[in-house]
Amino acid sequence: MSTERRTKVLEVLKTAEVGASLLVKGWVRTKRQNKNVAFIALNDGSTINNLQLVADPNQIAEELLKLVTTGACIAAKGDIVASQGSGQSVEMHVKELEILGEADPEKYPLQPKKHSLEFLREIAYLRPRTNTFGAVYRIRHAMIFAVHKFFNDKEFLNIHTPIITASDAEGAGETFRVTSLDMDNLPKNEEGAIDYKQDFFDKETNLTVSGQLEGELAAMALGQIYTFGPTFRAENSNTTRHLAEFWMIEPEMAFFDADDNADLAEEMLQYLVQYALDNCQDDLKFLHDREVEENKNKKESERPELYLIDRLKFVVDNKFERVTYTDAIDILRNSKPNKKKKFKYLIDAWGADLQSEHERYLVEKHFKKPVILSDYPKDIKAFYMRQNDDGKTVAAMDILFPGIGEIIGGSQREERLDKLEQRMDEMGVPKEELWWYLDTRKFGSAPHSGYGLGFERMILFVTGMTNIRDVIPFPRTPGNAEF
């Protein structure tokens, strides 16, 4: 039986005709049984919805039915009939049953009850079998596809930038070292320092923190490109917004100024959210209802103003607010939490770096919508950002989202060789190592801009999950590289 053509549960529920004889395979979510009938909820991952299998204990061998337990994998053949109960339109009357993989109910960690997200993180290898994580991973896939579709429709080229590099694109020194040297017997040079000339690449290398610099090279020939790759940061930030390994989308466009850059970013974010609304309805509805349920017993003041689907619609329907850093500082300085010293980091002067508490105040309390913050002080931003004429600020842009904080960081790039070199000197960025980057400013330089979208932060927003560890299948965070 298991070699015949299988019909996916999604297809059965959507299109199967009453009377059809079909084969389905999947994992048992629950079984309820009495003397005359057994109800089995089957899920195969193609949809959040289960197919109800109805089996007659007088027709299906008892030893077989006994092995139909939560977590077991089974194949079932039978007839599609109109569903008696509420919920689904059809169910299957089982004629033949096969156990593909047993799951000892005494040992199977996922019981048919509500588990905490913390517990599920400890069994991340099994959590895709829950409704919540199934929904999150299906939406994650839809968003990957939508990113490629958005850029492909605009004739951007997808570029694979290197994962192993010798540079630190953000200059923040938070890289993971890549080496093939013997850690227990490191070669030393004449000065007694580690001799990286003997390492695999003849020099020090690390995992990339961003594909941007290579993306810029490509844009200086191909016009409009984007990367979508893994990036790695050894920052010891144990927060619900940081991963050590995350995925980033980095478009880079020749001839775009800072305004063009912001326009593209806003259009892309709205496109992605709309794509989810159009294509992930069942999963979004489940996550929306879950959120309503979670907040049911909270005080009015602690409940979200909008629930998931309404938040998504709000972002699609409203233009983002555009504000300069300088104006934002004024707003923050005069804000209630600043005056009442409720912020952990008080804002007293222009030049202060914004913490996530400030970003969230601007987005959630003050503007109550996504905010595009621009023109930051040059001293708190990376060396490659274009210097504004005021001598103090750079053409930087961060996009802040409700419940998330920074979701995008980007800028117009410094295309003038002398200005770029001056900034690298001031910030101690080694020019020798980035000679190839500087060369693009010598040969056919052009104004250009780009940004980076943190993919998991986007998935946080679209799913309404609140911890970034729950939107990537196998999170990498300080102290955690299990599975």
Taking CB under 6 A as the rule, which mask of x and - marks residues 181-220 in contact with ligand 4AD? Answer: -----------------------------x-x--------
Instruction: Among 170, 364, 414, 470, indicate the residue that binds ligand 4AD (CB under 6 A).
Output: 170
CA distance 295 to 300: 9
* Number of amino acids touching ligand 4AD (CB under 6 A): 22
Task: Name residues contacting ligand 4AD, limited to 222-281 (CB under 6 A).
Answer: 233, 235, 242-243, 246, 248, 250
Q: Which option in Mg ion, ligand 4AD, none does residue 407 bind, with CB closer than 5 to 8 A by kind?
A: ligand 4AD
Task: Classify burial at 428, counting beta carbons within 10 Å of its beta carbon; exposed 0-12, middle 13-18, buried 19 or more.
Answer: exposed
- Name residue 169's amino acid: A
Q: Which option in ligand 4AD, Mg ion, none does residue 243 bind, with CB closer than 5 to 8 A by kind?
A: ligand 4AD
CA distance 94 to 54: 6
Q: Which is nearer to ligand 4AD, 233 or 386 (CB)?
A: 233
Q: Which option in ligand 4AD, Mg ion, none does residue 283 bind, with CB closer than 5 to 8 A by kind?
A: none
Nearest CA-CA partner of 397 in 332, 450, 319? 450
| DSSP H helices in 378-445 | 417-427, 435-442
Task: Name residues contacting ligand 4AD, limited to 378-407 (CB under 6 A).
Answer: 406-407
CA distance 411 to 259: 10
CB of 454 vs Mg ion, minimal distance in Å: 9
What does the DSSP assignment read for 311-359?
A: HHHHHHHSPPEEEEHHHHHHHHHTSHHHHTT-SSS---STTPPPPHHHH
Task: Name residues contacting ligand 4AD, limited to 405-434 (CB under 6 A).
Answer: 406-410
CA distance 169 to 212: 7
360 within 8 A of 241, measured Cβ to Cβ:
no
Part of the chain binding Mg ion (CB under 5 A), chosen from 126-134, 190-198, 317-325, 403-411? 403-411
Local structure of 111: helix, strand or coil: coil
Instruction: Among 456, 463, 469, 471, indicate the residue that binds ligand 4AD (CB under 6 A).
Output: 456
Residue 409 binds Mg ion (CB under 5 A): yes
CB of 211 vs Mg ion, minimal distance in Å: 15
CA distance 310 to 14: 26
Q: Which is nearer to ligand 4AD, 37 or 481 (CB)?
A: 481
- Interacting residue ranges for ligand 4AD, rule: CB under 6 A: 169-170, 210, 212, 233, 235, 242-243, 246, 248, 250, 406-410, 450-452, 454, 456-457
Binding site for Mg ion (CB under 5 A): 409
